[in-house]
Amino acid sequence: MDPTADTDVADEELVRRYQATGSRPHLDALLERHIGRVRSLAYGMVLNHSDADDLTQEVFLRVTKSLAQFKGDSKFSTWLYRVTVNTSTRFLERRGKLAAEIDRRAPEPLERETQGPECRMLSGETAQAVADALATLTPALRAAMVLVVLDGVSVDEAAEVESCTASTIYWRIHEGRKILRQRLAGYLTP
């Protein structure tokens, strides 16, 4: 079977193929497909580039070890995000704090080539202010905000990832936005 054909195959089919054959190309295709979102979610939880890289690697090691036992009771992506949130939360707990330690190297703004230097600087400052405010949220509030608001995961899937109800996710988003509004009020108001 040609592993390059795996790009058009659904996650669940790739999982099934990997579980049936143990073929590394199926696993690689599955992990390559999700590396960006896992890295983004990990970064959103810990707000540090180096830690997010380490957590992404740890998540994929855990997934690789556990994939043979994955039963498919939820979507693969839901399970993967749950592993990512759990791994990130445990990392923060091991550090003895629930607030993230912010990496002062803010991510580059999108569409950098089309922006002037003033706009790029303001975008970088805004991104840093948002990261500072996100760092003050609890891991549960941060996970809801990152999953739904930043990564575009549906509320129902975020609820499944977080093992809670959709109304709890809505509440967490509401609380997270309220806190972010308070933290950013002085920054955003002229």
Is 51 found in the same domain as 19?
yes
Instruction: Give the mean pLDDT of the chain.
Output: 83
Residue of 96 and 78 predicted with greater confidence: 78
- Domain boundary residue among 69, 100, 131? 100
Is 131 found in the same domain as 58?
no
pLDDT for position 120? 45
Measured in whole angstroms, the distance separating CA 5 from the mean position of its chain's CA atoms is 27
Judge whether residue 81 has pLDDT over 90.
yes
Q: Are 76 and 18 in contact (CB under 8 A)?
A: no
Is 150 found in the same domain as 77?
no
pLDDT for position 83? 96
As a whole number, mean pLDDT of residues 54-79 equals: 92
Q: Which residues contact 74 (CB under 8 A, 6 or more apart)?
A: 160
Query: What does the pLDDT look like over 105-134, one tens digit per residue?
Result: 544 443 434 444 444 444 667 778 888 888
Range of the domain at 30: 9-100
CATH of the domain at 88: 1.10.1740.10
pLDDT for position 95? 83
- pLDDT above 70 covers a percentage of the chain that reads 79
Judge whether residue 181 has pLDDT over 70.
yes
Is 60 found in the same domain as 127?
no
Q: Are 158 and 148 in contact (CB under 8 A)?
A: yes
pLDDT for position 127? 75
Which two three-digit tokens encode residue 105?
């190297």
Judge whether residue 3 has pLDDT over 50.
no
Which two three-digit tokens encode residue 113?
């080539």
Question: Alpha-carbon distance 121 to 65, whole Å?
Answer: 43
Band of residue 179 on the pLDDT scale cut at 50, 70, 90? very high
